[in-house]
Structure 1
């Protein structure tokens, strides 16, 4: 559960970008939460605003301008403005109040994320770990990566069981917004992307990039970042999308397979390319006699054709 709008394919498109700053030691994983702190400081200052212009200035100076390079990346990809963030606060009053404490508790999850990173290192000794940036975005992207930046949308990964979702007007964002207990899985999904050696050019490759990262995250943490999508799948729907996907899998990437949007009228979820890729990796891993080699290949995607061909998924 990663993207909607213009951000939907950002993760898919950056697998080949330069990677410059990282650690090979999971215990030294950089875990940056300063943007979350800055957001809530700006949020509190809004109470002193006398005009809309005051609110915009406060949000700009106290949050956007103070952003880390991870938050600057998000601002660039989403063409963010301080006006938009003021609007986010106006449109999500109850939801924001409900996630304040949990989003500020993100530092407490570093130990769990590092434990997951250690397991990834055991499975894939070549693993590298870029800096994780937790930021308060505009309720549109759960996670992304570009180069050595891993972006985690704290506002979509810090809900509690009591968080009201009625202020999320997009039905798929509403369904996929997750409680903070899945934070480790989201972080491992994005970290798995960092290991991948495949820059996707067609549907099959893009599905393996996304589904592979999801398989790795679930394998390590026992949690899925897109459980609501899996919950909507029926055997009949899965067979139908399998046939549709097989017919177009070698064609250039069509965003509709990877967007959060689906078709509510037919109860068809979004992000079906993720599901296909996950199922291919799952089938490949189940049939493998050498599980260690199989998981290394799923992580790196160095021999992605083998994953598809040995999975038997298209047969």
Structure 2
């Protein structure tokens, strides 16, 4: 080999080595920035410092002091946001720590792995950005909550409930009450293994116009959009519905969903353990995912389709209907389904105790009987304040129950003379097919004495 050739090879080797070194520096620097600036796990460390102090004493005052000083007061913006959106209180934290020691012991090691997921989360988000170049940056906060959210968003922040999303099949749940029964089966799916997927899903929510939509259809498409984009970005199957995707009767699912698609409440379709004929929760995610998937498959411009899926105004009925129609998920247009839905809604037909709107109702009245046009679901109901607010609410002292045929309810009330009262029967009143009532305002004034 000539001296010139040797020098050329040495020069190329040095240039390659320098380039590789620069690339490693860029990658390492990028990952360091992700860990410090984008993925924040300090709330977890603070929680365990507080936990150790709390569990070392029986003094309740000291327990609250440790919780506040070591965890809540030092909380990141993510923790403060999670506590606000899920209505977490110091008492709930203290109660959970004291009641479920085996759970906390079993999940501790997993939660302390949060920082180790930063690079993988960054990769997942970078893949999302390739699909959706308009992606705006959003910080990811690993927090610790009290079992009401594995992941959510607030004002452009991703909030991860580590006590749920970082659990696995070894996490102990036998201390939990019935209200947490869904966590037992959820933990068996090893949610920590799909943590990157969860983060990408929630990251999509930070890009959407809204995460609170006023109809079941809109909320399902909103959640389905995030699930669809997480699947496209990560290449993973959805952990939300992987357990039933091969066994569900899709024709029946579509039929039942179409009956309820414009309900103001989400029923058993989303965020609920309510029983249903499919024996599955979170079916709304699946329906929304299928709508988005079919929309994407039918689109000639895939990048524009992704933009539309993420940026759709799910609260705009016209835009939502056009999107759903283009997906061809339903056999009929959304406007036709809406007409059918409205015609099938149950309503209040009569108040047997007095005439609604009267201004001379007997203040000694103690029970009110309300009649419906259809047989109602006896396990679902809600009362709300009317337009005049809480000061004018007719308080329900006791719900005395439905009639045997499910077509009327009786409530116990306490009225005062010369007062105007209101009570709104809300969307969780629904018939046996799960179709919500047309909201009904009771509004009357009692006679003066």
Same fold (TM over 0.5): yes
Is residue 95 of structure 2 the alignment partner of residue 87 of structure 1? yes
| Superposed counterparts of 1:25-36, under 5 Å | 30-36=38-44
**Equivalent-residue separation in structure 2 for 1:269 and 1:236 (angstroms):** 9
Out of 170, 177, 194, which is 2:206 matched to? 194
TM-score, normalized by length of structure 2?
0.59
Secondary structure of 1:274's aligned partner: helix
- Per-residue CA deviation, residues 19-40 of structure 1 (Å, 9 max, x unaligned), is xxxxxx9975611111101101
**Contact 1:262/1:271 (8 A) holds in 2:** no
Where does structure 1 lack aligned partners over 5 or more consecutive residues? 1-24
1:48 aligns to what SS in structure 2?
Answer: coil
Q: TM-score, with normalisation over the residues of structure 1?
A: 0.82
2:184 to 151, 174, 179: 174
Q: Map of 1:13-24 to 2, 5 A cutoff? A: none
Q: Is the 8 A contact 1:208 1:281 kept in 2?
A: yes
Q: 2:229 aligns with which of 216, 221, 224?
A: 216
C-alpha distance in 2, partners of 1:282/1:258? 19
Alignment of structure 1 residues 50-69 onto 2, 5 Å:
50-69=58-77
Tell me what 1:153 maps to: 161
Out of 271, 284, 291, the residue aligned to residue 259 of structure 1 is: 271
Q: Distance in 2 between matches of 1:188 and 1:293?
A: 20
1:284 is aligned to 295
Check 1:233–1:168 CA distance in 2 against 1; reply closer, same or farther (3 A cut): farther
Task: Using the TM superposition, name which of 218-227 and 84-93 deviates more.
Answer: 218-227
Correspondences of 1:265-276 after superposition (within 5 Å): 266=277, 268-276=279-287
| CA apart distance, 1:147 | 1.1
Q: Which has the higher strand share?
A: 2
1:69-116 C-alpha deviation (Å, 9 max, x unpaired): 211122223332222112112232222212212211111111111111
Give the match's secondary structure for 2:152: strand
Higher helix content, 1 or 2:
1
SS class of match (2:125): helix
CA distance in structure 2 between the aligned counterparts of 1:98 and 1:225, rounded to whole angstroms: 26
Counterparts in 2 of 1:162 and 1:250: CA distance versus 1, 3 Å: closer
Q: Is the 1:176–1:226 Cα contact (8 Å) retained in structure 2? A: no
Distance in 1 between the 2:93 and 2:219 partners? 31
Q: Could you tell me which residue of structure 2 aligns to residue 3 of structure 1?
A: none
SS in 1 for 2:231: helix
Cα deviation, residue 217, structure 1: 0.9
Deviation at 1:225, TM superposition (A): 5.7
In the alignment, structure 2 segments of 5+ residues that lack a partner are: 1-29, 314-318, 332-449
Contact 2:86/2:149, CA 8 A, preserved across alignment? no
The count of corresponding residues between Structure 1 and Structure 2 is 289
**Deviation of residue 165 (structure 1)?**
3.2
**Distance in 2 (alpha carbons) for counterparts of 1:47 and 1:181:** 29
CA shift, 1:282, in A, is 1.8
Q: Which residue of 1 aligns with 2:255?
A: 243
Q: Name the counterpart of 1:12.
A: none
The Cα shift of 1:134 comes to 0.7
Cα distance in 2 for residues equivalent to 1:276 and 1:173: 22
Task: Answer 1 or 2: higher relative contact order, Cα 8 Å, separation at least 6.
Answer: 1
1:209–1:294 CA distance, 2 compared to 1 (3 A): same
In the TM superposition, what is the alpha-carbon distance from 1:150 to its structure 2 partner?
A: 1.6
2-structure distance, mates of 1:151, 1:184 = 13
Matched residue, 1:205 = 218
Deviations 1:90-147 (A, max 9, x none): 2322222122122111111111111111111111111012111110111221111121
Q: CA deviation at 1:226?
A: 4.0
Q: Name 1:18's counterpart in structure 2.
A: none
* 1:275 to partner: Cα distance: 1.5
Distance 1:100 1:214, change over 3 A: same
CA deviations on 1:4-60 (whole Å, 9 max, x unpaired) are xxxxxxxxxxxxxxxxxxxxx997561111110110111111243142332222222
